[in-house]
Amino acid sequence: MFAFDHDGKVAKRHGRDDIFKKGVVLRNPQEVTIKKLKYYKVGKDVYIKVSSTAADKKLKRLVLIRNSYVYNLKGKVNKVHGKRLLLKKGTNINVLHDGKVTKIGKHDYYQIGTNQYVKVVNTALK
């Protein structure tokens, strides 16, 4: 995700765009508004858009208690390169929409991504 300056323009570091890697944890960021957009202040004249952070997506953290396939909105197993997508027991997952349960057919699912769901019975709170 890109870092921005106090004008809302992409910040530069050593002549290149300043980029934060995925998975960076922000501890108590200060929220500010620049040109009607919300940003988190993460350093001196360095800001990150709130919309590009996980906190904005209302995630809930769960752990898999059984191996689980990833399903689509029709209840079919998602495939990657012709193989069914399997998540192993003990894997930590982020659930979207604050853990709202989605009913597909006769089973309950948590949404973990765009058109990606795991069964509720295979998860536990972390």
Domain layout of the chain by residue ranges: 12-55, 60-125
Q: Amino acid identity of 126? A: K
- Percent over 90 (pLDDT), the chain: 38
Q: How many C-beta atoms lie closer than 10 Å to residue 37's C-beta? A: 13
Retrieve residue 97's tokens. Answer: 């929409």
Architecture of domain 60-125 in CATH? Roll (2.30)
- Percent over 70 (pLDDT), the chain: 88
Question: For residue 23, what pLDDT is reported?
Answer: 65
Mean pLDDT of 52-81: 85
Stated pTM of the model: 0.57
Question: For residue 86, what pLDDT is reported?
Answer: 94
Cβ(52)–Cβ(37) below 8 Å = no
Question: For residue 67, what pLDDT is reported?
Answer: 96
For residue 113, give the DSSP letter: E
pLDDT band with cut points at 50, 70 and 90 for residue 59: low
